[in-house]
Amino acid sequence: MQDVLNAVAVRLQNAWFQVREEERGQGLVEYALIIAIVSLGAIAALTFLKGTITGLFSKAGSTINGVTVGAP
């Protein structure tokens, strides 16, 4: 009985080590983390520059509204 328990324990341990050392999904996780960090940076930048961006779009819209078609 002791031999059977030892054999089961060794097989479970080997299976655990094999799963733990597997690197199949590692690249996907790394890319997901990079995308998440870049996204957070972009959101922070847009939040910080919100007033400036709004001003630029307002200025561009006013300029476009002031242009008449066919004017020299």
Place of tokens 């479970």: 12
Question: Which pLDDT does position 71 carry in this prediction?
Answer: 56
Question: Which pLDDT does position 19 carry in this prediction?
Answer: 72
Q: How many domains does the chain have?
A: 1
pLDDT, tens digit only, all 72 positions of the chain: 778 788 888 888 888 777 777 666 677 788 889 999 999 999 999 999 999 999 999 998 888 887 777 655
Question: Which pLDDT does position 54 carry in this prediction?
Answer: 92
Burial tier of 31 (Cβ tally within 10 Å: 0-12, 13-18, 19+): exposed
Look up the domain containing 4 and give its range.
1-69
